[in-house]
Amino acid sequence: MPAVFRSPNPLSRIWHQVAVAGLLALSLAACATPPPADDPEAVADFKATNDPLEPTNRVFYAVNNGLDTVILRPAAQAYRFVVPGKVREGIHNVLSNLGTPVQLSNDMLEGKPRRAGDTTMRFLINSTVGVLGIFDVAKEWGYPNHDADFGMTLASWGVPEGPFLFLPVLGPSDPRDAVGFGVDIVQDPFTWVGQGAAVTALGWSRFALSAVDARERVLDSLDQIKKTALDPYATFRSLYRQHRHAQIEALRNDNRATIPVWFPQQAGPTGNGP
């Protein structure tokens, strides 16, 4: 068998199963009852909320919340308690550096050459000077990080987000981001590289560490929301969408010129160049 066509590692097979389970659940989904048509404001609210699968979504929210309470949150707390802040920052940077191939691919699919350049420079600088990505030197050198995933790429292509989804294990999403999640796994070279126990173990470690790292970074914020929100599910729904819109807005507004500063600059339309 040629090396290129190796089967994906077991981790992606698990995700495949998760995705199938999710789709199955969706096909059994109960639908939210729309408000009576004689209350136009309530109907407008219902449409704006765009959560037709709300009853099913709430079930998955409850399940995820239970899993989080007994597994992920304690793990994140232990991680914060045991590992010093500077080390956690380093681990976060390494994980983020491992994500650069997917990021670069999405930057290019989004047609953002400056973002792709930033990502490339970040990978080159941080993998070497930054010691395998532990230190984010590139940020200091003028290559700041940005968000890029295939959900955002689809958004930049004009694909609408669709109704709100709360997926088992994965949490808040929508059809666009759920597809994006799958495509990002396929785009990730680490999905396709290598076989054997060591690779599998590394893949799982990366996955587990990413989950704990991501959870630790929002420990205080999530506790806060669960404590103060009257309807945490609705609050997370709103927060998720607002956050995604902000990321997509930042992507759309990033229209920096593609000529690097050190290159002889072209005369602008009103310029006084030669």
Please give the residue ranges that form the binding site for other proteins (CB under 8 A).
35, 41-42, 45-46, 49, 80, 85, 92, 217, 220-221, 224, 227-231, 233-235, 237-239, 242-243, 245-247, 249-250
CB of 239 to other proteins, least distance (A): 5
Residue with Cβ nearer other proteins (49 or 120): 49
Sign of CA dihedral 130, 185, 178, 171: negative
Residue with Cβ nearer other proteins (9 or 103): 103
Is-contact 174 163, C-beta < 8 A? yes
CB of 41 to other proteins, least distance (A): 5
Residue with Cβ nearer other proteins (95 or 239): 239
How long, in residues, is the chain? 274
Is-contact 153 102, C-beta < 8 A? no
CB of 92 to other proteins, least distance (A): 8
CB of 215 to other proteins, least distance (A): 13
Q: Cα–Cα distance between 214 and 16 in angstroms, integer?
A: 22
| DSSP run (H or E) holding 101 | helix 100-109
DSSP 8-state code for residue 110? T
Residue with Cβ nearer other proteins (19 or 248): 248
| DSSP run (H or E) holding 165 | strand 165-167
CB of 220 to other proteins, least distance (A): 6
Q: Is 180 helix (H, G, I), strand (E, B) or coil?
A: helix
